[in-house]
A and B are shown apart, each in its own frame.
Chain A
Amino acid sequence: MEGTAAPMSAEPQTGVVDMMLNMGPQHPATHGVFRMVLSIDGERVVGVRPHIGYLHRGSEKLSEHESYGQVITLFDRLDYVSNLNNELVFARAAEELMGVEAPERAQYIRTILCELNRVASHLLFIGTYALDVGAMTPVMYTFRERERVQNLFEHVTGARMMHNYFRIGGVKEDVPGDFAERVRSVVRHLREGVEETDRLLTFNEVYLARTRGVGVISAADAVSCGLTGPCLRGSGVAYDVRKAYPYEVYDRLEFDVPVGEFGDCWDRYWVRLQECYESLRMTEQALEQMPDGLVMAPGRRIARPPKGEAYAHAENPRGDIGVFLVSDGTDKPYRVKVRPPSFCNLVGLERMMDGAYVADAVAILGSLDIVLGEVDR
């Protein structure tokens, strides 16, 4: 297999690739339209060739032909299970270029919604990942809890998904009057729900057998491959954009960055689970601190950033999402480049699959928590 000349496994091998196994693009365990071709020697995977691009919609090219306000709707559709986190990073890139800062209240609203979005996204992962490794029940619990967050988002933004709520310089409108009350109720329910799933799944013997020691990636490889988010932290590297380059109001919130030990599938799962607790903690703190005031920075109605370029990044549930924005001074961006975390996390797939059993291929792929809308853009 070209490009994978490095020795793959310590197990004795015949050195002959017995079979090429095609998986996808229409396969329930690839979480979208993703295809990989596995080279198999007996029961071992000796090479993997991922094929992406089935969902390539040319979002970056389209962005060059939309006004700045409209680009936010395209960002909703990149990572379609953590829409608000995506909107935030583009809004921040444009704000940085324009020298605009969102009012404090807007920053708190954004932080609260992004953290709840993170919990919803992680719950989706926990449920579907449990399905991937053979546990049918957790997905029922996690979807029930995730629905609470979606309902709250619908109440605040008007849409369950594809919110188009964040604006360059703030948010679309102030939150409804019962926002604090509803967030507190959602957080209380979510905490119970996450704990329930935690008890059900985390130290389940079958679950451990399927995920412990599977799909290991070393910290050095993870960094070199550009892994970020829970995939990187699972390997023991405590890199979190919210700590490393604090944005919005994260420098005023108290939270820990959970890290794994071995970089296997279970560690990546565990990091996400702990992040749910941390996000709920952050949400409560932010709600306490949230001041009254404007939710939109005063200024022109049409965003027209000055000529120049900016690079903004933020912590998405999947990792470090970056936006490189080039403006030529008109009302449309000259170039928008997204650094999609799932795309980079997939680069590590080859390393994780080194010498894995064919039966574990689905478990390893699932542990990356990719969203193809973002991989292919």
Chain B
Amino acid sequence: MSEQERPSGEESAAQAEQPAPRPHRGPPIETADETLSERGEATAKRLAAALGADAVAAGGRGETPWARVEPSALERTLRRCRDDDALRFDMLHCLLAVDYVERIELDYVLASVAHNRKAIIKVDLPPDAPSAPTATHLWQAAAWYEREAHDLFGVVFDGNDDLAPLLLFEGFEGRPGLKSFPLHEYEEY
């Protein structure tokens, strides 16, 4: 807010009580380096070969490489990850959403129980109406993860007709996982 726009008098006192975004203090922010182990490198190669041009970005740390895909390519990417002979990710290890405010990221942590491999498929969704295709037909484990992500982040999974509240009670309003949901100011009763 520039000097000219700043309201004066009583209004400014009310404004001053609004918490302004705190500037970062403390040591400068470092970025973690991403290095894959030998096994992670091998998985990353297989993943890159299987996804081809669908992977718009890739990286990873330790034994877990990741690849980012467009929402339109998500369904076929996941199917390929499960069925491709080089990957065989037979378990959906975890599915989670992260609210980066300007985007909501879904992370599909995939694991191969038979070959001891894991990888993460990332997809960015718009924050105003996040929606992604369901993965329940690929892994049964997806059902509850999707309900949870819908509960806490409001992500809609197309094709999953059972998105009833799982962790929250029915009738709860708001998406507690989002950064915009207050932690302390929220009153239930």
Asked if B141 contacts A320 (CB within 8 A), the reply is no
List 8 A–B pairs whose Cβ atoms lie within 8 Å, in order of A's numbering: A53-B169, A224-B139, A225-B141, A306-B29, A306-B32, A307-B29, A307-B31, A311-B118
CB-CB nearest in chain B for A226: B141
Residue pair A320, B93 in contact (C-beta under 8 Å): yes
Q: Does B49 contact A (CB under 8 A)?
A: no
Interface presence of A71 (CB below 8 A): no
CB distance from A220 to the nearest CB of B (A): 8
Contacts A306-B29, A322-B94; is A2 near B167 (CB within 8 Å)?
no
B-side interface size class: 35 or more
The binding surface of chain B is classed by DSSP as loop
B118 to chain A, nearest CB (A): 8
Cβ contacts under 8 Å, A335 to chain B? 98-99
- Give complex CA distance A26, B32 in Å: 46
Contact residues of A between 294 and 311, Cβ < 8 Å to B: 304-308, 310-311
A337 to B96, CA, bound (A): 7
Q: Does B166 contact A (CB under 8 A)?
A: yes
Interface of A, secondary structure class, is mixed
Tell me, yes or no, whether A52 is within 8 Å of chain B by CB.
yes
- Is A328 on the interface with B (CB-CB < 8 A)? yes
Contact across chains for A304 and B94 when beta carbons are under 8 A apart: no
B91 and A226 within 8 A (CB)? yes
Q: Which of B47-69 contact A (CB under 8 A)?
A: 61-64
Tell me how far the C-beta of A319 lies from the nearest C-beta in chain B, rounded to whole angstroms: 11
Contact between B167 and A53, CB atoms less than 8 A apart? yes
- B9 interface contact, C-beta 8 A: no
A88 to chain B, nearest CB (A): 16
Docked CA distance A116–B135 (Å): 38
A346, B147: Cα distance in complex, Å = 14
Q: Contacts A56-B167, A304-B26, A339-B94: A224 and B177 contacting too (C-beta < 8 A)? A: no
Contact check, B109 vs A224: say whether CB atoms are below 8 A apart.
no
A171 to B50, alpha carbons, bound, how many Å? 42
B61 contacts A96, C-beta separation under 8 Å: yes
Closest chain A residue to B117, Cβ basis: A244
A221 within 8 A of B: yes
The closest CB in chain B to the CB of A224 belongs to B140
Nearest CB of chain A from residue B117's CB, rounded to whole Å: 9
- Shortest C-beta distance, A257 to chain B (Å), equals 13
Q: Which residues of A contact B120 (CB under 8 A)?
A: 311
A330 at the interface (CB under 8 A from B): yes
List of B residues within 8 angstroms of A331 by Cβ: 26
Beyond A53-B168, A337-B96, whether A328 also contacts B139 by CB under 8 A is no
CB distance from B179 to the nearest CB of A (A): 8
Min CB distance, B183 to chain A, in Å?
Answer: 5
| Total number of residue pairs linking A and B with CB closer than 8 Å | 114
| Distance A308 CA – B113 CA, assembled complex (angstroms) | 26
> Complex: how many Å from CA A377 to CA B30?
30
- Proximity bits, B22-36, A CB within 8 Å = 1, else 0: 001011011111100
Binding site for A on B (CB under 8 A): 24, 26-27, 29-34, 61-64, 90-94, 96, 98-99, 107, 109, 113, 116, 118, 120, 139-141, 143-144, 161-162, 165-169, 176-177, 181, 183
Residue among B32, B107, B162 facing the most chain A CB atoms (10 A cut-off): B32
Closest to A335 in B: B98
- Say yes or no: is A213 at the interface (Cβ < 8 Å to chain B): no
Residues of A within 8 A of B168 (CB): 53, 56
A-B contact sample (20 more), CB < 8 A, given A311-B109, A347-B144: A3-B162, A52-B166, A53-B165, A60-B177, A61-B176, A61-B177, A61-B181, A99-B33, A223-B91, A224-B141, A226-B139, A304-B26, A306-B31, A308-B34, A322-B94, A326-B98, A327-B32, A330-B24, A346-B144, A351-B140
A335 to chain B, nearest CB (A): 5
A334 to B98 alpha-carbon distance, docked (Å):
9
Q: How far is the CB of A74 from chain B (nearest CB, A)?
A: 13
A376 at the interface (CB under 8 A from B): yes
Bound-complex Cα distance A331 to B120 (A): 25
- Give the distance in Å from the alpha carbon of A224 to the alpha carbon of B185 in the complex: 40
Q: Which residues 48-70 in A have Cβ within 8 Å of B in the complex? A: 52-53, 56, 58, 60-62, 64-65
